[in-house]
């Protein structure tokens, strides 16, 4: 089968499309034939070496498809089931073997493209919106990269909960997209000072939560945008890792909180995964959250897909087709 692997870390040029053998599923595993593959920033972090992987490595963590074979002791799925997963390496390929307890059934009415485009991003939005910090209807939050893959889902989800969402984006086109997907106000950070504009929009109070997936270039603005006892949720490094911070800085800013979560600690077992997936697919099926697929690349153009995502030239989700 065709699969993308890296033999060393580095830029997009290290991504190699090769012909590899796929082993059959072992006990507790399933073999999946992919229909669509998700593209995520974590793939870039692994390729660059920010998140270490054992080399040579097959990249990609998210894909949707049909079960080709099941290993011994698998009762969760059967051959022909449509499934999606987001925590098993090797998704940049025509097929992949994953642990059965890390995949979920795709419900009727949800296409494989939508499942692959939304699973990792949507599960991230689910724990950010519903579980990481208590929010009450009427609260105001700041969402960076509001027109991105996670951002669009998160903004819509928060809006459904009655949260006032201020989105931050890098262009007027992205501002229009964010405004149509749950944001009550949008800041173009290339033209406006984020923290000053947040204060203007909140009568000087600031936001209860700043959701920051950008990292280095937005960290200070996020801290400066928080209200007293607000929290900065730093969950990505699109512009590079966020800087270190002295704890006293949080005290001086108004008894602030800071956390650096990862999705996999919020879907740490099958029960958590199933509950989060049910919440995600239910809100998608309701129409309250619509998944935007902004770009499609074929597997042999995976380097182009990485470059577009890293340059923040994409909107919504990107999927890889075969």
Mind listing the domains of the chain with CATH numbers?
A: 2-120+267-321 (3.90.180.10), 133-260 (3.40.50.720)
Residue 87's pLDDT is what? 85
Residue 46's pLDDT band, with cuts at 50, 70 and 90, is: very high
> What does the pLDDT look like over 59-78, one tens digit per residue?
999 999 999 999 999 999 99
Residue 302's pLDDT is what? 98
Residue 316's pLDDT is what? 87
Whole-number percent of the chain with pLDDT over 70:
100
Three-state secondary structure string covering the chain: CEEEEECCCCCHHHCEEEECCCCCCCCCEEEEEEEEEECCHHHHHHHHCCCCCCCCEECCCCEEEEEEEECCCCCCCCCCCEEEECCCCCCCECEEEEEHHHEEECCCCCCHHHHHHHHHHHHHHHHHHHCCCCCCCCCEEEEECCCEHHHHHHHHHHHHCCCEEEEEECCHHHHHHHHCCCCCEEEECCCCCHHHHHHHHCCCCCEEEEEECCCCCCHHHHHHCEEEEEEEEECCCCCCCCCCCCHHHHHHCCCCEEECCCHHHCCCCHHHHHHHHHHHHHHHHHCCCCCCEEEEEEHHHHHHHHHHHHCCCCCEEEEEEC
> What does the pLDDT look like over 98-120, one tens digit per residue?
999 999 999 999 999 999 999 99
Mean pLDDT score, 283-291: 97
Residue 28's pLDDT is what? 97
> What does the pLDDT look like over 212-224, one tens digit per residue?
999 999 999 999 9
């Amino acid at each position: 089968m065709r699969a993308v692997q890296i033999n060393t870390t580095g830029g997009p040029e290290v991504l190699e499309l090769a012909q590899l053998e796929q082993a059959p599923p072992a006990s507790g595993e399933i073999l999946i034939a992919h229909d669509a593959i998700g593209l995520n920033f974590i793939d870039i972090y692994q390729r660059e070496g920010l998140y270490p992987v054992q080399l040579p490595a097959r990249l990609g963590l998210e894909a949707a498809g049909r079960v080709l074979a099941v290993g011994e002791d698998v009762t969760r799925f059967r051959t022909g089931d449509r499934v999606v997963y987001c925590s098993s390496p090797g998704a940049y390929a025509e097929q992949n073997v994953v642990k059965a307890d890390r995949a979920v059934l795709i419900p009727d009415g949800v296409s494989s493209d939508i499942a692959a485009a939304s699973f990792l991003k949507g599960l991230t939005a689910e724990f950010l919106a519903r579980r990481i910090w208590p929010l009450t209807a009427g609260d105001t939050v700041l969402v960076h990269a509001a027109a991105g893959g996670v951002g669009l889902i998160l903004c819509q989800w928060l809006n459904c909960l009655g949260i006032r969402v201020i989105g931050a984006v890098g262009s007027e086109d992205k501002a229009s997209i964010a405004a149509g997907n749950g944001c009550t106000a949008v800041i173009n950070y290339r033209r406006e000072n984020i923290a000053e504009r947040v204060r203007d929009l909140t009568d000087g109070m600031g936001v209860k939560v700043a959701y920051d997936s950008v990292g280095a270039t937005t960290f200070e603005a996020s801290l400066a945008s928080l209200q007293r006892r607000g929290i900065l949720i730093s969950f990505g490094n699109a512009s590079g890792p966020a800087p270190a911070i002295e704890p006293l800085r949080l005290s001086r800013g108004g008894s602030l909180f800071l956390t650096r979560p990862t999705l996999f600690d919020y879907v740490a077992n099958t029960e958590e995964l199933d509950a989060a997936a049910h919440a995600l697919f239910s809100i998608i099926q309701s129409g309250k959250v619509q998944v935007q697929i902004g770009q499609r690349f074929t597997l042999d153009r995976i380097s182009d897909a990485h470059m577009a995502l890293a340059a923040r030239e994409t909107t919504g989700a990107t999927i890889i087709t075969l």
